[in-house]
Amino acid sequence: MSAAPAKHIRTPLGSVRGRGTAHSGTGHFWRQRLTAVANIPLTIAALIIIITLLGRNQAATAQILGSPLVAIIILLFIISITTHMRIGMQVIIEDYVHDESVKLALLMANTFFAIAVALSSAYGILKLSFGV
């Protein structure tokens, strides 16, 4: 007696593409986890940098933040944290907002906000780093 073939809920095309019902696959899941792991050492490094800046005057702070190693660490921190923030808010919006037009507007606003935060933060660090 042979066993009956297993029934799959997924379509053959969905199985080939590796995508679920949301049609976005596991890309967001892995990016969220990757940025979460990257945020651990980057947050620790950013906190150490911020603690070393306490009590310093503006010139000393600008000099420290403008050094290449510190600028690179802070830029990586900015990129990782804003990407993580955008993905996290996107998941919340997709899960809890049911009106499609409102959902689309919020997803666009979320992306624009994350880009604005990242660019304005990166601009400040790059300005200090290049002395412009």
**Under CATH, to which class is 26-130 assigned?**
mainly alpha
Closest by CA to 87, choosing from 11, 38, 36, is 36
Q: Report the pLDDT value the prediction gives residue 29, as an integer from 0 to 100.
A: 87
Q: How many CB atoms lie within 10 A of CB 34?
A: 14
Sketch the domain layout of the chain as residue ranges.
26-130
Whether the CB-CB separation of 17 and 10 falls below 8 Å is answered with: no
Q: Report the pLDDT value the prediction gives residue 131, as an integer from 0 to 100.
A: 79
Q: Report the pLDDT value the prediction gives residue 28, as an integer from 0 to 100.
A: 81
pLDDT digits (tens, 9 = 90+) for 39-67: 999 999 999 999 999 999 999 999 999 99
pLDDT beneath 70: ranges in the chain: 1-25, 132
Q: Report the pLDDT value the prediction gives residue 19, as an integer from 0 to 100.
A: 52
Q: How many CB atoms lie within 10 A of CB 97?
A: 15
Geometric angle at alpha carbon 122, from 50 and 124, rounded to 5°: 70
Which pair of tokens denotes residue 121?
A: 């933060």
